[in-house]
């Protein structure tokens, strides 16, 4: 019941207000010396991405953009999970207004993160399946702690990774590895992820990860920000434009898909099995 409790709590906290710094689900701190922001996902136990968390994250990214941030580290307050991906409760018997807002916010979060003008590093300090992997893939650089798993495992859940999830993965590991990863829904160990380029560095501790992140940001110290931004846009712009063009169409397909009785039944059974496990 932990998941639902946290979710209810989050709803009460009014997720739509503008966070100037931190919210209850995303802690934002800025290093005064370097100007680098750290956004820490803090929705125990597994940082499931619900509307409230995504709204906070999306708003945080917009503010960093407006404030011409020097860089962002995205990480987790948990020692075992970076993010477990989309909160399945958002897909179970959803209120359609909320569901649409949920998906729209996910799309916008990706657009803001994948297309950010400032440098971004994911410090993957725990498991990162599905939507957790997407967040990591949307950054420019991925540093992962040992002994965890990462991947777009949607097919294993009977779902399909949207085209922009696939585009983010292709951008990192190329077409062949993306195809193999997506059709098998594979979760890679940290070492496997390093080998295929799904992460850029492997470390033993979060501190070591933060140190390596600092070295990545240092590469931009003498680079005029507008040149960096325009270069990144020229490389990632096509993927983003593809979603901008198709976002309404995608929403229409999903709202039809999510109400399929068989899908709802399957999700219900999956949630029931989770409860059984937690009650043991």
Q: Does 161 bind its own copies (CB under 8 A)?
A: yes
CA distance 39 to 19: 12
Long-range contacts of 95-98 (CB under 8 A, 24+ apart): 96/255, 98/51
End-to-end CA distance of the chain: 13
Q: Does 212 bind its own copies (CB under 8 A)?
A: no
Task: Please give the size of the binding site for its own copies, defined by CB under 8 A.
Answer: 42
- Binding segment (CB under 8 A) for its own copies, from list 102-110, 121-129, 226-234, 240-248: 226-234
Return all residues near 231 (Cβ < 8 A) that are at least 6 apart. none
Per CB under 8 A, the list member of 5, 11, 12, 223 interacting with its own copies is 223
Q: Does 273 bind its own copies (CB under 8 A)?
A: no
Angle between helices 51-66 and 96-114 (to 10 degrees): 30
Q: Does 206 bind its own copies (CB under 8 A)?
A: no
- Binding segment (CB under 8 A) for its own copies, from list 14-22, 34-42, 77-85, 230-238: 230-238
Q: Does 199 bind its own copies (CB under 8 A)?
A: no
Cβ atoms of 73 and 34 within 8 Å: the answer is no
Look at residues 190, 219, 216 and name the one whose alpha carbon lies nearest to residue 205.
Answer: 190
Per CB under 8 A, the list member of 128, 139, 182, 193 interacting with its own copies is 182
Q: Of residues 153, 182, 185, 198, which has the active-site annotation?
A: 153
Q: Does 231 bind its own copies (CB under 8 A)?
A: yes
Give the helix ranges, DSSP H, for 32-82: 51-66
Q: Does 160 bind its own copies (CB under 8 A)?
A: yes
Cβ atoms of 41 and 123 within 8 Å: the answer is no
Give the helix ranges, DSSP H, for 67-205: 96-114, 131-138, 163-184, 190-196
CA distance 53 to 59: 10
Binding characters for its own copies, 76-105, by CB under 8 A (x = yes):
------------------------------
Per CB under 8 A, the list member of 178, 243, 258, 267 interacting with its own copies is 178
Binding characters for its own copies, 100-129, by CB under 8 A (x = yes):
-------------------x----------
CA distances to 59, 218, 252 from 108, in Å: 10, 28, 16
Q: Does 252 bind its own copies (CB under 8 A)?
A: no
- The residues annotated with a catalytic role in the active site are 86, 131, 153-154
Q: Which residues bind its own copies (CB under 8 A)?
A: 119, 140, 154-161, 163, 166, 170-176, 178-180, 182-186, 197, 219-220, 222-224, 226-228, 230-232, 234-236
């Amino acid at each position: 019941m932990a998941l639902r409790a946290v979710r209810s709590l989050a709803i009460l906290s009014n997720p739509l207000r503008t966070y100037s710094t931190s919210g209850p689900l995303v802690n934002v701190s800025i290093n005064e010396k370097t100007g680098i922001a750290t956004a820490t996902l803090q929705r125990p136990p597994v940082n499931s991405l619900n509307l409230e968390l995504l709204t906070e994250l999306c708003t945080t990214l917009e503010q960093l953009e407006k404030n011409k941030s020097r860089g962002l580290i995205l990480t987790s307050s948990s020692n075992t999970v970076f993010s477990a991906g989309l909160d399945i409760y958002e897909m179970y018997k959803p209120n359609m207004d909320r569901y649409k807002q949920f998906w729209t916010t996910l799309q916008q979060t990706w657009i803001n993160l994948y297309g950010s003008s400032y440098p971004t590093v994911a410090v993957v300090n725990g498991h990162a399946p599905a939507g957790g992997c997407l967040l990591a893939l949307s950054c420019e650089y991925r540093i992962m702690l040992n002994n965890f798993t990462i991947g777009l495992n949607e097919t294993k859940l009977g779902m399909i990774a949207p085209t922009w999830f696939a585009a983010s993965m292709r951008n990192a590991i190329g077409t062949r590895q993306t195809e193999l990863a997506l059709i098998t829904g594979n979760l890679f160990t940290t070492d496997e992820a390093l080998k295929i380029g799904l992460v850029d560095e492997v470390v033993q501790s979060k501190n070591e990860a933060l140190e390596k992140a600092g070295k990545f940001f240092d590469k931009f110290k003498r680079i005029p920000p507008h040149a960096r931004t325009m270069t990144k846009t020229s490389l990632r712009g096509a993927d983003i434009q593809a979603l901008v063009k198709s976002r309404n169409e995608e929403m229409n397909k999903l709202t039809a898909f999510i109400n399929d009785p068989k899908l709802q039944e399957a999700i219900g059974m999956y949630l029931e099995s989770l409860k059984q496990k937690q009650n043991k």
